[in-house]
């Protein structure tokens, strides 16, 4: 079975993990610091905070921005549920901005309209979480401009997008956001098994997120509220969590990071091949804008209708091609329906969902594999 996504682990990754297993620190050791520094360098952000997974990063990002009860957070309905759940963990309300059908990304026009209405109702969001679906950045300069105008903060959910660029700058540099979050789940671009990183340029946000990752505890002398009792002294300043990444994971991440650019290049080459072959069949892929380089986490095609998508899904699965669907609009989940969201709320998101199919794309696939997959698509049309 050719799965839609798959990790690429080589001997250097295995050696890096084994080296940590033989060292003094399995967690809270030097690999974490090295990994954080490497991510900050790669993304050209000032700070990077590693955590157990991207969901934890989204949670601490919301907390660091002060999201709490009576606040509202907006995100895209076409994403993994974690993009919305993070707001609910903080006791805030969540709402959804419809997407553009051609890119699957949060629609700027819909965002602008919704902000206008929210302003009248005095229900503006505290935080907006744009999602860089499939590895393509949202138009961050435009969203940032709206943030200035309407006074909201921005968390980029870049779970799909490490190694991508926007306006020739690495995604994660936070030029147009407060915090940017990456996931290192095995299906994503690089992996740490489970893991995530939040980047920021703000020393205050970095300190807060660092605290929330580890119980709300600090040892930094300048943050202590009372005189130190001695070298063992620490203080709990907030209600944090144990969201720490281990050194085992960080070592894997560091080793994977060496191959990031290569992985993204392979993904782009295979995507270009798909594009050529699928165009001959009149099958459309999501549009990638000129303003950046997609890391191509996912290769999504939009079929003519729900019937064709279902037929294609079955035919390809039957042929051993592990296609998938990304995503069911978050607010159609029973948990969110129980909160009062109705079907039809974001028409473009629902239209997208009815036609979208994710074809396999990862660095282990060959050009021959792509040709095989596309000929199966052709047969199923």
Ligand X SMILES: *Cc1c(COP(=O)(O)O)cnc(C)c1O
Per CB under 6 A, residues contacting ligand X are 53-55, 79-80, 82-83, 131, 157, 159-160, 183, 185, 196
The stretches of the chain forming alpha helices (DSSP H) are 11-21, 30-43, 54-64, 82-89, 108-120, 140-150, 203-213, 247-257, 260-280, 306-318, 334-337, 347-355, 367-380
CB of 286 to ligand X, least distance (A): 15
CB of 336 to ligand X, least distance (A): 15
CB of 298 to ligand X, least distance (A): 9
> How far lies 241's CA from each of 178, 211, 213, 217, 344, in Å?
21, 9, 6, 9, 37
Q: Which is nearer to ligand X, 133 or 374 (CB)?
A: 133
Q: Which is nearer to ligand X, 43 or 183 (CB)?
A: 183
- CA–CA dist 251, 353 (Å, integer): 37
Q: Which is nearer to ligand X, 131 or 374 (CB)?
A: 131
CB of 219 to ligand X, least distance (A): 27
- CA–CA dist 305, 238 (Å, integer): 50
Q: Which is nearer to ligand X, 49 or 131 (CB)?
A: 131
Q: Which is nearer to ligand X, 157 or 178 (CB)?
A: 157
Residue 242: both structure tokens together: 């144990």
Q: Which is nearer to ligand X, 80 or 152 (CB)?
A: 80
CB of 111 to ligand X, least distance (A): 17
Burial of 282 (0-12, 13-18, 19+ CB in 10 A): exposed
Burial of 106 (0-12, 13-18, 19+ CB in 10 A): buried
- CA–CA dist 201, 188 (Å, integer): 24
Q: Which is nearer to ligand X, 54 or 67 (CB)?
A: 54
Q: Which is nearer to ligand X, 241 or 283 (CB)?
A: 241
CB of 185 to ligand X, least distance (A): 4
For 111, residues 6+ apart whose C-beta sits below 8 A from its C-beta are 74, 97, 128, 143, 146
> How far lies 74's CA from each of 62, 129, 273, in Å?
12, 6, 35
Could you identify the residue written with the tokens 């968390």?
A: 155
Distance, C-alpha 272 to centroid of its chain: 22
CB of 323 to ligand X, least distance (A): 17
Helix orientation angle between 306-318 and 367-380, rounded to the nearest 10 degrees: 130
């Amino acid at each position: 079975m050719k799965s839609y996504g798959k990790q690429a682990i080589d001997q250097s990754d295995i050696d890096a993990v084994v080296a940590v297993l033989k060292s003094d620190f399995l967690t809270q050791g030097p690999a974490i610091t090295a990994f954080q520094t490497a991510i900050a360098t790669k993304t050209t952000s000032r700070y990077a905070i590693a955590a157990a997974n991207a969901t934890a990063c989204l949670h601490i990002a919301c907390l660091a921005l002060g999201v709490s009860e009576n606040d509202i957070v907006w995100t895209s309905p076409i994403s993994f549920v974690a993009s919305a759940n993070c707001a609910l963990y903080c006791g805030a309300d969540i709402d959804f901005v419809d997407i553009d059908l051609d890119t699957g990304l949060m629609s700027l026009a819909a965002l602008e309209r919704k902000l206008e209405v929210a302003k009248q109702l005095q229900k503006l969001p505290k935080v907006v979480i744009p999602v860089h679906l499939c590895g393509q950045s949202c138009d961050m300069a435009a969203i940032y401009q709206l943030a200035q105008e309407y006074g909201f903060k921005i968390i980029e959910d870049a779970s799909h997008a490490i190694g991508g660029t926007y306006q020739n700058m690495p995604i994660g540099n936070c030029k147009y956001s407060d915090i940017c979050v990456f996931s290192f789940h095995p299906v994503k671009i690089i992996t740490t098994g489970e893991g995530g990183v939040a980047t920021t340029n703000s020393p205050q946000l970095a300190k807060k997120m660092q605290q929330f990752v580890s119980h709300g505890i600090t040892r930094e002398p300048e943050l202590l509220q009372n005189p130190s009792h001695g070298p063992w002294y620490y203080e709990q300043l907030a209600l944090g969590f144990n969201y720490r990444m281990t050194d085992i994971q960080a070592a894997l991440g560091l080793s994977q990071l060496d191959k990031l650019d290569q992985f993204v290049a392979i993904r782009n080459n295979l995507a270009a091949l798909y594009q050529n072959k699928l165009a001959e069949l009149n099958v459309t892929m999501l549009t990638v804008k000129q303003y950046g380089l997609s890391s191509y986490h996912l290769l999504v095609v939009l079929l003519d209708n729900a019937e064709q998508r279902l037929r294609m899904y079955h035919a390809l699965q039957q042929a051993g091609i592990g296609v998938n669907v990304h995503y069911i609009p978050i607010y159609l989940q029973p948990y969110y329906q129980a909160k009062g969201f109705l079907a039809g709320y974001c028409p473009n998101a629902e239209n997208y969902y009815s036609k979208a199919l994710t074809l396999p794309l990862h660095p282990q696939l060959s050009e021959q594999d792509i040709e095989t997959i596309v000929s199966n698509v052709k047969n199923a049309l």
